């Protein structure tokens, strides 16, 4: 969720008051389940920020200024903004505070983490307090929009043992050596194409004297995979429990050897942009559902990008693992996400 976007919520009531005070309190909590199966369904919550403010204070007929056109409802509109950074210190669990770590934060003041499905959620508690005994205290909770649930796909399958052994056996064909070099960006942005583009370059090296010219090398397929590494930790007496989950959050596989398709020839010392190959030449775009990497008290997320290319030379197919490195994922540009979040539906008219 965009941390600096304002959220408007309409708080409504069906009663008539002689005196009323409306206030609200907003909290953000980090909720996670440790990966250790021995811990069962234990949950930990950590408040990241909390504040409250008196919005309205009136008496008697002054409430009429907040009535709707149909005179059956009263509206109390307000809005607030999430802070940029975590404002509360992490409370110790069972008397043990979080320790300093390179993977997590242990002091307040770090950037507020994004909304992450099944890991972090933001919620607003709006409470209306009245002097009427029939309407003593009511609370409504409205959840902010979550990112889509991550849907990892099966990892790439390597060639079987038999095919690997066959390629290692000596043959009558003269030896030929070539090198493949792939490049990939170190910084990605959700909802945007990969920039700079993912490329592959071919360089012919040594070859037997029986081979007068470098053999042709064609591109059969390639894959680009983005993996997320989510870390969790729980402070406890005597030791700190940690969990780790690695999953694919985005994977693109394109083949270039389909029926009716011309083979993609890799030129010596040439550079090929993979986003222009296959699938109509569309560029590689990071899905908007990918949340940015972050670190906070008990949860951290980092990403790794991997590029694998499959090429064919003199009748043999080679699967080459190219670029594989850590990347930074940035959030979508402000204004590209969904708009203002509305509150609950209007209640039915008041009936005495």
- What's the pLDDT tens digit per position in 133-190? 444 333 332 222 222 222 233 333 444 555 545 544 545 556 777 788 888 888 999 9
DSSP type of residue 186: S
Q: Are residues 60 and 23 in the same domain?
A: yes
Instruction: For residue 336, tell me if it sits in a domain.
Output: no
Given 91, 109, 143, the domain boundary residue is 143
- What's the pLDDT tens digit per position in 3-45? 333 333 333 333 333 333 434 343 434 333 344 444 444 456 6
Q: Are residues 249 and 109 in the same domain?
A: no
Look at residues 297, 300, 299 and name the one whose alpha carbon lies nearest to residue 93. 297
d(CA 131, CA 279): 65
Structure tokens at 235: 């402070």
Instruction: For residue 52, tell me if it sits in a domain.
Output: yes
For the chain, the domain total comes to 2
Instruction: For residue 326, tell me if it sits in a domain.
Output: yes
- Write the DSSP assignment of 235-256 as a string of letters: E-SS-EEEEEEEEEEEEEEEES
Instruction: For residue 349, tell me if it sits in a domain.
Output: no
pLDDT at 303: 94
Instruction: For residue 122, tell me if it sits in a domain.
Output: yes
**Token pair 């959840």: residue:** 143
Q: Are residues 105 and 206 in the same domain?
A: no
Residue 178 CB: number of other CB atoms within 10 A?
18
| Segments in the chain below pLDDT 70 | 1-45, 52-64, 68-72, 76, 78, 80, 93-97, 115-174, 235-239, 257-262, 279-281, 334-352
Q: Are residues 199 and 233 in the same domain?
A: yes
Q: Are residues 224 and 103 in the same domain?
A: no
Three-state DSSP state, 135:
helix
Given 143, 178, 194, the domain boundary residue is 143
Q: Are residues 213 and 317 in the same domain?
A: yes
Q: Are residues 81 and 230 in the same domain?
A: no
Long-range contacts formed by 161-170: CB under 8 A, 24+ apart: 167/316
Residue 186 CB: number of other CB atoms within 10 A?
11
Q: Are residues 133 and 194 in the same domain?
A: no
Instruction: For residue 175, tell me if it sits in a domain.
Output: yes
pLDDT at 317: 81
Structure tokens at 174: 């003269």
pLDDT at 256: 79
Q: Are residues 52 and 117 in the same domain?
A: yes
The residue segments making up the domain with residue 98 are 7-143
Burial of 137 (0-12, 13-18, 19+ CB in 10 A): exposed
Helix (H) or strand (E) holding 164: helix 161-168
Q: Are residues 134 and 279 in the same domain?
A: no
Burial of 83 (0-12, 13-18, 19+ CB in 10 A): middle
Is the distance from CB of 57 to CB of 21 less than 8 angstroms? yes
Instruction: For residue 341, tell me if it sits in a domain.
Output: no
Q: Are residues 227 and 139 in the same domain?
A: no
Given 143, 170, 198, the domain boundary residue is 143
- CATH number, residue 319: 2.60.40
Instruction: For residue 2, tell me if it sits in a domain.
Output: no
Q: Are residues 138 and 168 in the same domain?
A: no
């Amino acid at each position: 969720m965009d941390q600096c976007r304002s959220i408007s919520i309409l708080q409504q009531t069906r009663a008539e008051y002689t005196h009323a005070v409306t206030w609200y309190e907003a909290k953000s909590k980090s909720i996670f389940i440790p990966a250790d199966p021995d811990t069962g369904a234990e949950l930990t919550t950590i408040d990241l920020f909390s504040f409250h403010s008196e919005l309205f204070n009136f008496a008697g007929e002054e409430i009429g200024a907040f009535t709707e056109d149909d005179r059956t409802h009263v509206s109390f509109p307000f809005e607030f903004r999430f802070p940029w950074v975590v404002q509360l210190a992490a409370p110790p669990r069972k008397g043990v505070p979080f320790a300093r770590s390179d993977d997590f934060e242990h002091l307040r003041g770090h950037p507020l983490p994004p909304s992450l499905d099944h890991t972090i959620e933001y919620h607003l508690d709006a409470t209306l307090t009245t002097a009427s005994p029939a309407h003593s205290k009511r609370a409504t909770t409205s959840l902010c929009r979550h990112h889509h649930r991550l849907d990892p796909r099966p990892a790439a399958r390597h060639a079987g043992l038999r095919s690997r052994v066959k390629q290692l056996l000596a043959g009558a064909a003269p030896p030929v050596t070539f090198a493949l070099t792939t490049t990939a960006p170190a910084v990605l942005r959700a909802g945007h194409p990969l920039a700079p583009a993912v490329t592959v370059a071919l360089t012919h090296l040594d070859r037997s004297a029986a081979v007068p010219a470098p053999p042709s090398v064609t591109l059969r397929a390639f894959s680009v995979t983005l993996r997320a590494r989510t870390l969790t930790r729980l402070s406890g007496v005597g030791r700190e429990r940690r969990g780790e989950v690695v999953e694919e959050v985005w994977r693109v596989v394109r083949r270039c050897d389909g029926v009716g398709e011309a083979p993609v020839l890799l030129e010596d010392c040439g550079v090929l942009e993979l986003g222009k190959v296959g699938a109509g030449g569309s560029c590689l775009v990071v899905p908007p559902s990918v949340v940015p990497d972050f670190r906070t008290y008990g949860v951290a997320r980092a990403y790794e990008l991997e590029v694998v290319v499959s090429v064919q030379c003199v009748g043999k197919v080679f699967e080459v693992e190219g670029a594989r490195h850590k990347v930074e994922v940035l959030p979508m540009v402000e204004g590209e996400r969904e708009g203002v979040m509305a509150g609950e539906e209007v209640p039915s008219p008041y009936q005495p």
